[in-house]
Structure 1
Amino acid sequence: MSDRIRVESLIDARIRAARENGEFDDLPGAGKPLPGHAEPYDEQWWLKEYARREGFSGAGLLPPSVQLARQVERLPDEVRRLPSEQRVRETVADLNREILDYQIHPSQPFVPIRRVDVEAMVTLWREALEARWAAARQPAPPNPPAAARPRRRWFRRDRSETPDHP
């Protein structure tokens, strides 16, 4: 018991010495309320703060069945950005493998998910590719006539600020 009292008094002495030396004077947030003091108490505040600080998204915490459903939902947008038809077919095949695994071994909460039609996604990709080509083939807007264009100003030094100039 006497060792514990001595350790506590040593700690108290160091805190008191630091306070007297002014080591606690300019701490960030001094005089400001603690963050979240007005919010209701949440038992998992530390977990939410850790996820926010580390940049985790809430999607990583979802059950696998819901994550898979979200992948299927986002697939058309992803397919439109892929560079080749082969890449589209590979992406859809990978997702269909995951869906098949889920259908064989479903997890809670059960979300009904159907496999994705590869040919429909390839058609969607081709339409997006044609739209990009059409946008690229459109001529650029013509330059305005010389009179309407603002005159280009070249660098001019303000001579009033230079010491050589009277």
Structure 2
Amino acid sequence: MTERKPAGVSFETWIDRQIREAQERGEFEDLPGAGKPLRGLSEPHDELWWVKEKVRREEGTVLPPTLQLRKDAAAAREAAARAGSEEEVRRILEEINAEIVDAIRKPRSGPPLNLMPFDVEHVVAEWRAGR
């Protein structure tokens, strides 16, 4: 919408007109959730409900980058332990190590990273011993 509010017209009148014209054009028809009750009306008020809903809907994370990298590193270590081959273990660890080294060179926001690259040979030896 590029139309500006005309001088001398109250915002309420101008906005009401914009909404009415959009309804007449059918721009509000077939919206997702049309005709369904609003979720969360019976729940306690939460000022950040819309942020939490957006994160849930987009399957995002609210972790600071350093904490997310720690989480990714732990997941990589678990994935390496379940890997089907030594090559897969090495690939998983090399990918996460590259991210860790990048984060050490170019610090990310959040609490201190406190993470060092994995010793690939040590983890591969552990993987072999578990087989």
Q: What's the CA shift for 1:119?
A: 1.2
Provide TM-score, normalisation by structure 2: 0.62
- In the alignment, structure 1 segments of 5+ residues that lack a partner are 15-26, 131-166
Deviations, residues 102-150 of structure 1 (Å, cap 9, x unaligned) = 111112222211111101211222233x2xxxxxxxxxxxxxxxxxxxx
The structure 2 residue matched to 1:117, chosen from 106, 109, 119, is 119
Partner of 1:63: 64
Q: What's the % identity of the aligned pairs? A: 25
Name segments (4+ residues, structure 1) moved above 3 Å.
none
- 8 Å contact kept, 1:76–1:124: no
In the alignment, the residues of structure 2 paired with residue 55 and residue 108 of structure 1 have an alpha-carbon distance, to the nearest angstrom, of 22
- 8 Å contact kept, 2:79–2:92: no
Kindly indicate whether residue 87 of structure 2 is the aligned counterpart of residue 77 of structure 1.
no
Partner of 1:127: 129
Q: What's the CA shift for 1:79?
A: 0.8
If asked which structure has higher relative contact order (CA below 8 Å, sep 6+), I would say 2
Q: What's the CA shift for 1:38?
A: 4.0
Partner of 1:49: 53
Q: What's the CA shift for 1:83?
A: 2.0
RMSD: 2.8
Kindly indicate whether residue 95 of structure 2 is the aligned counterpart of residue 94 of structure 1.
yes
- 8 Å contact kept, 1:96–1:116: yes
